[in-house]
Structure 1
Amino acid sequence: MPLMLDASVSQYLQRRWMHRRELWAACFRDNVLTFGNDTNNRVESSHKQMKRYLQRSDSLHKSMLKVYKWYQQSFSRILQEAIIAQSRCFTYPCSQRLIPIIRLLTPYAARKVIREYERRRWAVVEVESFDYVFFQDNGNRVEVDLSACTCTCVTFQTCWYPCRHLLLVHFRKPHFI
């Protein structure tokens, strides 16, 4: 007896998957040039690592237990690598007030924030209210929203690291950021 699909499932398959069936069904790959690579490299890498631990003669229970142990070891290794990476120290020639913020950033972003901090003298507070601080910066009017911790300057809008305006507000109001 042939397998009967619900009409909505059949429509979904037709609409979303059948026009690119050579990507997911090996039986349709006869006319596709793959150079012998039928899976992506991420899958192959995981399979290669798991094959070291699994044997053809292993029972399903034993295989699942081995995969679970392999996963635990991999996760522990990744966690240790993250701890080591986080503990690496970089030294930057900057104000001590910046150090707590700099430690939260990548080295690239840290250098950018230090550069922004050095350019802070060009920003002058124009108006300060409970929710907003307005700056005059090289002829541009910039607005810092204290509740959303956002700034309308180009640096913050394009890069999303702390700009000089956010840093100035942070140093005026330490609870900010």
Structure 2
Amino acid sequence: MQDVHNLVARLRRESYAFPTIEERIHAILEDFASQKGNLTRVYANEENVVECITIQSAHMRAMFELFPEVVLIDATHDTNASNYKLFSFMIHDAMGKGQHVQHCLIENERKETLRIACHQFKESCPNYDSIAVIMIDKDFAELAVLQEEFPGARILLCHFHVVKYLQEVVAKEKYNLDAWTKKEMKRLIQLLVGAPTEVAYANIITAMKVVLRTDEKKKLWFSYFDKNWTTCKERWSSAYRGNVPDMGNHTNNRLESSWQKLKTLVNRSTTLDDCVISILFWQTVNERIWARNIKRIGVYMNVEYDNEMNQLLNDVSRHAVELIKQQYDFALLSTTKYHYYPVGPYVMMQYTSAKDDDLPDGCMMNPDGWTCSCMFRVTRLLPCRHIIYYRKDTGCSRFVPESIIHPRWLVKNYRKLKNATVADDDVAVAYEDR
């Protein structure tokens, strides 16, 4: 990594030749934009105050092109002395890790400024319509802008922030709850957010009414809850949002974890130009780590896997194999039995070994495209137990061939990103003041 440290040292040395922070940032960003595929923009308002600085490397743009399904978005504070917030976009890669696809330093969090960041992302990533899920915290300004800018995406709320916010609300003096009731309501709120089925969700709502006891307290709480949360439960409740490819993301923890690492380099006393340099350094290090991790040579084998799984281990990422393996093992159990029958172009599959207390396991499977309506297939874009069982039961030679795997998980596709370039780049100017 010595060459990366040398780059940072050179940027700092050269930038200090300029007398002002603005001039130093301009020089740093021009140097960054001189590398093919890198893009950066500086947006100033009518008073010539910089409101937004956007940064995207060729690697970041290529990462989004391959892994566009779910994007985590949030802002963090305390990265520089000028009080600019770091507003970042992150995707979920084939290894199950978060990778940044845009960094912005924003002077404020007004809708107009957030919209600038979104517009720049859309300009540099023309396949933004491929986004299926956007994960945010409870910031309603972000929510409004993202709904307008990405109308084809489902906006989901981070479970951690929803639980934290609702637990703070229920503890407010206006609800006049005693200590035991507050404790029970906080516990039920956490259960409600993670409720796996609509039946479980309804049962927890009933339990809340029992815990609140009096009609007055029930009316006070549910008048607030129904107005502000029941109407948008598909954004935050597990029971109602399992029909989108969120890749198992229920929080923005990946994004927040990455910021903890960045904040070992910056803090609230860091000058804005040094903050920009640190972001570029940090991003370069992450890209080097990615390239190192995907450099796979030879054939991989796991002594605990059968031939089918070992072949899959060389077709897709290890993270994907680990997820599929759980489905594969269940489908191949001698005790696993599904009853299935055709319904038009689909196959209805019903688990016949289910007990009364089992979660329902009935779904519609499409043998033409090898898709399934079950939560695992929809949220992970990977072959589920229903597909694997059906292929086994109908005599297919392979149960999990490469041909039924979504392209995002294939080794041969994501290895191309080791030395990422953006082909046929239609963005004419790499660096621009706007």
Query: Normalising by the residue count of structure 1, what TM-score does the alignment of the two structures yield?
Result: 0.52
Query: Residue 164 of structure 1 aligns with which residue?
Result: 385
| Bigger RCO (CA 8 Å, 6+ sep) | 2
Please state how far the C-alpha of 1:141 moved relative to its aligned partner.
1.6
Give per-residue Cα distances to partners, 1:21-40, cap 9 Å, x unaligned: 2433xxxx995466122415
Give per-residue Cα distances to partners, 1:54-109, cap 9 Å, x unaligned: xxxxxxxxxxxxxxxxxxxx9xxx5xx57742536241523323433343232232
Letter in 2 for 1:18: N
Change (3 A) 1:41 1:93: same
Query: Residue 307 of structure 2 aligns with which residue?
Result: 96
Unmatched runs of 5 consecutive residues or more in structure 2? 1-42, 54-79, 84-267, 355-359, 405-434
Give per-residue Cα distances to partners, 1:142-169, cap 9 Å, x unaligned: 1111233211112212222221112223
Change (3 A) 1:38 1:82: closer
Change (3 A) 1:89 1:18: same
1:87 has 2:87 as partner: no
Q: Is the 8 A contact 1:90 1:107 kept in 2?
A: no
Give per-residue Cα distances to partners, 1:8-48, cap 9 Å, x unaligned: xxxxxxxx852872433xxxx9954661224153534799x
Change (3 A) 1:43 1:170: same
Query: Residue 52 of structure 2 aligns with which residue?
Result: 23
Query: Normalising by the residue count of structure 2, what TM-score does the alignment of the two structures yield?
Result: 0.24
Query: Residue 270 of structure 2 aligns with which residue?
Result: 35
Letter in 2 for 1:117: Y
Please state how far the C-alpha of 1:133 moved relative to its aligned partner.
2.2
Change (3 A) 1:140 1:30: closer
Larger radius of gyration: 1
Aligned sequence identity (%): 13
Letter in 1 for 2:385: R
Letter in 2 for 1:131: P
Change (3 A) 1:166 1:93: same
Query: Which SS does the other structure have where 1:85 is aligned?
Result: coil
Query: Residue 131 of structure 1 aligns with which residue?
Result: 345
Query: Residue 364 of structure 2 aligns with which residue?
Result: 143
> In 2, Cα distance between the equivalents of 1:97 and 1:35?
53
Q: Report the structure, 1 or 2, having the larger strand content.
A: 2
Query: Residue 20 of structure 2 aligns with which residue?
Result: none
Q: CA RMSD in A?
A: 3.8
Query: Residue 324 of structure 2 aligns with which residue?
Result: 113
> In 1, Cα distance between the equivalents of 2:309 and 2:329?
11
Unmatched runs of 5 consecutive residues or more in structure 1? 1-15, 48-73
Q: Is the 8 A contact 1:151 1:166 kept in 2?
A: yes
Change (3 A) 1:114 1:46: closer
Query: Which SS does the other structure have where 2:364 is aligned?
Result: strand
Query: Which SS does the other structure have where 1:39 is aligned?
Result: helix
Change (3 A) 1:34 1:124: same
Change (3 A) 1:87 1:154: same
> In 1, Cα distance between the equivalents of 2:384 and 2:330?
9
Letter in 1 for 2:386: H
